[in-house]
Structure 1
Amino acid sequence: MTTPIACICGSVALSIQLDSVTDQSKLQLCHCNDCRMVTGQLSSSYYLLQHEPPHLDGLQEYQQSNHVSCYFCKTCGAHVLARMQPGGQFLVASGLLAAKNIPSVQAVEHWQSSETGDGGLSTLLPGTESTVTGCRLHTSTSNESPNQESITPAEYTSTSQHLRARCLCGGVEFYITKPDASSLQASSPWPDLLVPYYTGSGANPDDIKWWLRDRGTKYIAGTCVCNSCRLSSGFPIQTWAFVPKSNIFNADGSPLTFTAGTLRRHRSSPGVYREFCSCCGATAFWHCDERPLLIDVSVGLLRANGVRAEDWLEWATNRISFAEMAVQHDLIHILEEGLKIHSKRN
């Protein structure tokens, strides 16, 4: 059965057919360095296709490794396809399928969570660990050495005061500083992560600086499963850190600009903007006219000792942003249970 898919901007629209032999009920998430940095997510997840896609119109190709090419929308940055070599098999990003066509998730399998330093998303999303070494998108099952190009270069290593961020190709580079007096200058309504939008109670008349945590030493971070994030990234779970613009700097030390390097902007709705790398497709930022001094930073770009960057971030565990909009309810239920478990451990 053919299934239509499309990114958020509609520039890429395809009819695809999922592989009929593969057990699609086990969602496989890859946490390897390359998959995180090329997507900006804490993991990538794909479904194998039965046939090659009918065309690649509107897609930008990026050679993720010697064995993997990824294809993302040139306009909005959504990751759409991946191609494995040798063999040439195509896969589709799991977040692009509509609710009526998406496979149920009965189990989650994590690949390469050992590269995260702290378990990454696998700690928040209970599942089994794959016994196969290497990237999920690499068809080889041999015990090969890690791709040395994916290891964090020394010049991008974070310090106690600077948290480095970089996409896989290096076209997007910036760093974050610890909260300071300038972090209080931003103002913002409550996010759906803390106060559900549907309650109509998102106003913040007391101007509470909700993005600052742990006595003002950390920023809040959380998960989002809204349709816009899903269709802008290509993946079902987006992770954001909420950071004042005054604490984000270009790689050269100048204040953050959304035109630096290979950043490209897409307006996903009126007054709402998303930036991604125009070379490799990594999700980078979300921001809006309503709160211009507070920026959502895609956590998969951060270069911390552990990918959840818990020396810098405090993770919200009581709610998933826009959980009511999720198309894979079974997956989100697993995530909700994992967040509860993580909260009790901490």
Structure 2
Amino acid sequence: MPETKTLTARCHCRAVHFTLTIPTTSLPLDVHICNCTLCRTLLGAPASFHAPLPKEIEPEFIAPSSLDKLTPNRREGAPCTIYFCSTCGCHIGDRGHQGGWTISVSIFEEGVNDNESLWKFNEHWYTDAASTGDGGFSQLLPRIDGREVRIWNPDTTTDRSQKDEKKEDGGREEKLLAQCSCGGVSFNISRPRQEFVDSPLSEGWVHAEDPSKWLGLVDVCTDCRLVNGAHVVAWLFVSADHISPPLPEDLCIGTSKRYESSPGVVRTFCGRCGATVFFTEKRRGRIVDIATGILRGKEGFMLADWARWRTARLGYPDDGIKYDRGLTEGLTEGLQEWGRRTHGVVRDFAVGTETGAA
């Protein structure tokens, strides 16, 4: 019998729990980081982190977990069915594409640090202007462990693009659309209003140098990884009274479902396609974190007209280093490089109740 390696995956709520038993001859598994609009709006993340499994390999669910604990999502005409946890919204992967499973590599207990032979992050997919508007997440992660991550784009535009979302003129938009992949969750965000900027409520959520934008943060925390199913998430921090239609107290709009990931912390996701939507905690009042993967900025994924990004450091870097040191260090370096290239400076500031730079 060939030598094998058994990998264990769990979502945040642990309703989904399975193993993969893979011949060592099939390792490392090739991982692609997909920047396309479809993946972003399905997960709410900057990109998906997926690896095709050998066709004969399938998840082996550990009771009481089962495939029934997952919500299937299949778009009309799509070649595969996408699965996510019905309780916490964590994306697991998809089945049917090219005959087998393509799995999210971000939910396995076997982190990359001690198991470098498991995963090989090979390529960024769908980074072109038609798909991202500005290069997307690939701008922030050009290298892992000093190795360039290749770029792959199709020869022709596909339905993964956002070509119908391009800005037709140079004017500044006053509304930013947030919409998940299936459209079950959809709302608009307004720019910070002057009365909010002038009030104490804006402290830590709007920067004095540019109060027309909301603060943005790239995050590698463990909880977000296991709720979302991606190595990286990014958030735009917005006061709830700048969202229309008005946001209800329970944060559930359209097809949303709620999940309390820890005491006082509530997250929501689309119950139909699984996209992460909101994060909030009681001590923040009505400030909500909006997952940037569902934001349809016409200037591109990095929301140049809407977000003031912190580029000096990630959110919860220790979690990222513990799980995948090479990717986290590459992302930190790439984020800083992007800040210098785009704004001529690396910006650091504290968000909300954080302690840190001003």
Shift of 1:293: 1.4
Aligned positions, number: 313
Q: Is the 8 A contact 2:28 2:120 kept in 1?
A: no
Contact conserved, 2:247 with 2:253, CA < 8 A, in 1?
A: no
Q: Secondary structure at the match of 1:261?
A: coil
Shift of 1:49: 2.6
RMSD of aligned alpha carbons: 2.7
Match of 2:78 in 1: 66
Tell me what 1:337 maps to.
Answer: 333
CA drift at 1:94: 1.7
Where does residue 237 of structure 1 map in the other structure? 232
Alignment correspondent of 2:101: 90
SS in 2 for 1:57: helix
Alpha-carbon contact 2:267-2:280 (below 8 Å) kept: yes
SS of residue in 2 equivalent to 1:320: coil
Asked if 2 retains the 8 angstrom alpha-carbon contact of 1:186 and 1:291, the reply is no
- The answer to whether residue 220 in structure 2 is matched with residue 220 in structure 1 is no
- The within-5 A match list for 1:15-94 is 15-18=19-22, 20=24, 24=28, 27-50=31-54, 51-55=57-61, 56-64=67-75, 66-87=78-99, 89-94=100-105
Unaligned regions of 5+ residues in structure 1, if any? 134-142, 188-206
Q: How does 1:239-318 map to 2 (within 5 A)?
A: 239-250=234-245, 254-255=246-247, 258-304=251-297, 305-318=299-312
Give the deviation of 1:183 after TM superposition. Answer: 3.2
CA separation in 1, counterparts of 2:208 and 2:134?
20
Cα contact 2:255–2:271 (8 A) shared by 1: yes
Q: 1:83 and 1:33, CA in 2 relative to 1: closer, same or farther beyond 3 A?
A: same
Structure 1 residue 262 displacement after superposition: 0.4
Does 2:137 correspond to 1:121?
A: yes
Structure 2 CA distance for partners of 1:182 and 1:260, relative to 1, 3 Å: farther
Matches within 5 A, 1:130-141: 130-131=151-152, 133=154
Structure 1 range deviating more: 118-127 or 165-174: 118-127
Cα shift at 1:210:
3.9
Distance in 1 (alpha carbons) for counterparts of 2:37 and 2:227: 21
Shift of 1:208: 3.2
Q: SS where residue 279 of structure 2 aligns?
A: strand
Matched residues, percent identical? 30
Q: Are the counterparts in 2 of residues 182 and 246 from structure 1 also a CA contact under 8 Å?
A: no
Equivalence for 1:171:
184
Q: Report if the CA contact (8 A) 2:217-2:235 is conserved.
A: yes
Distance in 2, matches of 1:153 and 1:27, equals: 29
Query: Which of residues 99, 109, 115 is equivalent to 2:123?
Result: 109
**What residue is the counterpart of 1:191 in the other structure?**
none
Q: Following the alignment from structure 2 to structure 1, what is the Cα–Cα distance between the partners of residues 311 and 48?
A: 21
Deviation of 1:108 (Å): 4.8
1:14 aligns with 2:38: no
Deviations 1:39-95 (A, max 9, x none): 1111101123341123513100101461232100000000012124341x1122121
SS at match of 1:47: strand
Query: Structure 1: which amino acid aligns with 2:104?
Result: A
